[in-house]
A and B are shown apart, each in its own frame.
Chain A
Amino acid sequence: MHRLRPVHYLMIAPAQLMLAAVIILPAASLLWLSLERFTYGRSPEFVGLANYAYILADRAFWRATLNTFLVVNVVVYGELLLGLGMALLVAGWIPCRRLVVSALLAPYAITEVSAVVMWRYMLEPDIGMINYALSALGLGQIDYGGDPTAALGVAAVMAIWMHAPFTFLILYAALLTVPNELVEAARVDGAGAWQVFRHVKFRLIVPAILIALLFRYITAMRLFAEIWLLTEGGPARMTEVLAVYLYRHAFKYHDFGVAAATGFAMLVLSLAIAMPYLVQMYRRMLRDAA
């Protein structure tokens, strides 16, 4: 019974077929699509690298790339700091731990749409509680509709709020595996809280930090709804990110070729970021298979 039989391949077939039909084949055909001019009512026409030439010459594309780069980095590192802080806090002594962990997880259950609802409500001009408080303190207001930097900042805060539970949980789980004897030994040797963190805990959770960073780099790049439902990329396309740029060209301008070129760039970028992880996984899997 421990021989691999054809029926076992049949059992992995449904998952592989789904992946092939919905992700792998479409992703592969993207390259082809990006070499065509393709819109409604006209048959596709091969245009070589023209779509790539178009996006590389398009200021809006570079703006979207820069915005994506900035927001992704703010989100990923902001979330790492927040998630690490939460994990260190919860892994030590706190009252009602189970309840606190539940509350910290809650944003994971919220759709991007409702997150935008919440933050837009708090940021309503003049009357939203954040802007009301800021202007009461004489600090001005956060004008996400007019100020691109403010809009990107708000989108970043929303993304951090929604995804902090992921980073928190991964780091919390890693901290729980740090042996107590190591921490005690360091204390006996006279290490303070910071030194215990720096030289013991931090070193042991570095792999978990790297995993959290990698996964969040790749998923943060997908940012769409936070911007689209906040500003639609405006004013004057100043707050677009790559996903919004792609969406606008595909589903507003019906210029699928340009959108496909953008998509292909995003795909290559994602794979490039994931490459060290993928190579490591590949080696480990080959070793396990042998």
Chain B
Amino acid sequence: MRPRPAARAARALLAALAVAWSAFPILLVALSSFKEGHRIFETPPSFVFVPTLEHYERLWEKWPDFFANMANSLAVTFGATLLTVATATLGGYVHARFRSRLLTGAAFAMIVVRMLPPIVVTLPLFPVVNWLRIHDTHLLLVGIYATFFVSLSTWIMKAFIERIPRELEEAAFVDGAGLRQILRRVILPLSANGIFAASVFVLVYSWNEYFFALIFTTRAAKTAPLVISEILSTVEGVDWGLLFAAATLQLLPIVVFVMAAQRYVVAGLAAGSVKG
């Protein structure tokens, strides 16, 4: 139903305002990273200018490690997503298909864990991490990030696997398929959407996470957000152009990813939080 023209104009205007509120700060950073240094603080900001790569070149010269840190982010994100999805798919299948007191207890534990503030685990983990000599490793971040999302992801996988008819599994079983084959030939292909929805959240989180990286990395495993915060906090005053270049390199791929994965974000939220 299309409303009257006046109402349509009002709604279009409100939509434009909402879009501006959400997207303007992001566009501002991305565009400003291509502006000459002296134009960065032009007011009002101009959106027509001759682009320059000077800030990216300076980033390359002054913070050469930033690109290694981006690679760290990529490795940690990939590892955490893989680990989360693998464990969540196995667990999600069992929670979708079986009921027992112990399983209910395990599922409830997963819900309770989501309520705990992540910051509190840093204190007890800190000495253990040093004792195990895994401080500043990719592995540590992968383990932490995956753990904080394994609960939500298991829940999402459970919801998606519940929609796969049991009859398909029974047919495969009659044909002589074992559990492993049923998982690989029936469950995995039919829950591809679920796997994608379950990976979106942990992927975005791992790519952007700041707090655990601040505490548990110093050099070798440092991730991009941490370095951006260091560029922001340099004592000689902020080099905005360079900072924008770094921020843009970090945010562009993930913003594009989230926009493209829109329907999986929606499906994952519906399966993961609304139904508990």
Asked if B258 CB lies within 8 Å of chain A CBs, one says yes
- The interface residues of chain B lying within 8 Å CB-to-CB of A246 are 119-120
Cβ 8 A contact of A19, one of B32, B90, B109, B119: B109
Known contacts A16-B109, A18-B147, A243-B119: A107-B232 contact under CB 8 Å:
no
Which parts of B105-159 form the interface with A (CB within 8 Å)?
106-113, 115-126, 128, 143-144, 146-148, 150-151, 154
Asked if A104 and B18 make an inter-chain contact with CB atoms under 8 angstroms apart, the answer reads yes
Asked if B262 and A105 make an inter-chain contact with CB atoms under 8 angstroms apart, the answer reads yes
Which segment of A73-81, A144-152, A222-230 sits at the interface? A222-230
Asked if B100 and A4 make an inter-chain contact with CB atoms under 8 angstroms apart, the answer reads yes
Asked if A89 and B115 make an inter-chain contact with CB atoms under 8 angstroms apart, the answer reads no
Asked if B185 CB lies within 8 Å of chain A CBs, one says no
Measured between alpha carbons, how far is A108 from B226 in the docked complex, in Å? Answer: 18
Which parts of A74-115 form the interface with B (CB within 8 Å)?
85-86, 89-90, 92-95, 98, 100-115
- The interface residues of chain B lying within 8 Å CB-to-CB of A16 are 91, 106, 109
Asked if A159 CB lies within 8 Å of chain B CBs, one says no
Which parts of B197-211 form the interface with A (CB within 8 Å)?
204, 207-211
- What total count of A-B pairs have CB within 8 Å? 292
Asked if B165 CB lies within 8 Å of chain A CBs, one says no
- The interface residues of chain B lying within 8 Å CB-to-CB of A52 are none
Asked if A12 and B90 make an inter-chain contact with CB atoms under 8 angstroms apart, the answer reads yes
Measured between alpha carbons, how far is A98 from B47 in the docked complex, in Å? Answer: 25
- The interface residues of chain A lying within 8 Å CB-to-CB of B108 are 281-282, 285
Asked if A113 and B19 make an inter-chain contact with CB atoms under 8 angstroms apart, the answer reads no
Asked if A93 and B3 make an inter-chain contact with CB atoms under 8 angstroms apart, the answer reads yes
- The interface residues of chain B lying within 8 Å CB-to-CB of A166 are 269
- The interface residues of chain B lying within 8 Å CB-to-CB of A119 are 25
Asked if B113 and A224 make an inter-chain contact with CB atoms under 8 angstroms apart, the answer reads no
Known contacts A33-B123, A94-B15, A215-B273: A118-B28 contact under CB 8 Å:
yes
Chain B residue at minimal CB-CB distance from A89: B14
Asked if B219 CB lies within 8 Å of chain A CBs, one says no
Known contacts A95-B12, A106-B255: A30-B123 contact under CB 8 Å:
yes
Chain A residue at minimal CB-CB distance from B15: A94
Asked if A50 CB lies within 8 Å of chain B CBs, one says no
Asked if A22 and B100 make an inter-chain contact with CB atoms under 8 angstroms apart, the answer reads no
Q: What 1/0 flags go to B60-88 for Cβ under 8 Å of A? A: 00000000000000000000000000111
Chain B residue at minimal CB-CB distance from A271: B115
Asked if A2 CB lies within 8 Å of chain B CBs, one says yes
- The interface residues of chain B lying within 8 Å CB-to-CB of A129 are 43-45
Measured between alpha carbons, how far is A21 from B125 in the docked complex, in Å? Answer: 9
Chain B residue at minimal CB-CB distance from A24: B113
Known contacts A11-B91, A129-B45: A18-B146 contact under CB 8 Å:
yes
Measured between alpha carbons, how far is A270 from B15 in the docked complex, in Å? Answer: 35
- The interface residues of chain B lying within 8 Å CB-to-CB of A222 are 117-119
Asked if B113 and A211 make an inter-chain contact with CB atoms under 8 angstroms apart, the answer reads no
Among B88, B119, B121, B258, chain A packs the most CB atoms within 10 A around the CB of B119
- The interface residues of chain B lying within 8 Å CB-to-CB of A26 are 120-121, 123-125, 128
Asked if A66 CB lies within 8 Å of chain B CBs, one says no
Asked if B124 and A30 make an inter-chain contact with CB atoms under 8 angstroms apart, the answer reads yes
Asked if B234 CB lies within 8 Å of chain A CBs, one says no
Asked if A113 and B210 make an inter-chain contact with CB atoms under 8 angstroms apart, the answer reads yes
Asked if A109 and B204 make an inter-chain contact with CB atoms under 8 angstroms apart, the answer reads yes
Asked if B196 CB lies within 8 Å of chain A CBs, one says no
Asked if B222 CB lies within 8 Å of chain A CBs, one says no
Q: Considering the complex of A and B, which 4 residue pairs feature the smallest CB-CB distances, nearest first?
A: A111-B208, A263-B120, A26-B124, A109-B258
* 9 more A-B residue pairs beyond the given contacts A29-B124, A121-B28, with a C-beta to C-beta distance below 8 A: A19-B110, A24-B113, A105-B262, A106-B259, A109-B257, A111-B208, A112-B225, A121-B29, A277-B276
Give A contacts to B, CB under 8 Å: 1-2, 4, 7-9, 11-12, 14-16, 18-19, 21-27, 29-30, 33, 85-86, 89-90, 92-95, 98, 100-122, 124, 127-129, 132-133, 161, 164-166, 169-170, 173-174, 208, 211, 215, 218, 221-222, 224-225, 229, 243, 246-247, 250-251, 256, 259-260, 263-264, 266-267, 270-271, 273-274, 277-278, 281-282, 284-286, 288-289
13 contacts between A and B (CB under 8 A): A12-B106, A14-B90, A15-B110, A15-B150, A18-B143, A100-B15, A105-B262, A109-B259, A111-B208, A173-B269, A173-B270, A229-B229, A264-B120
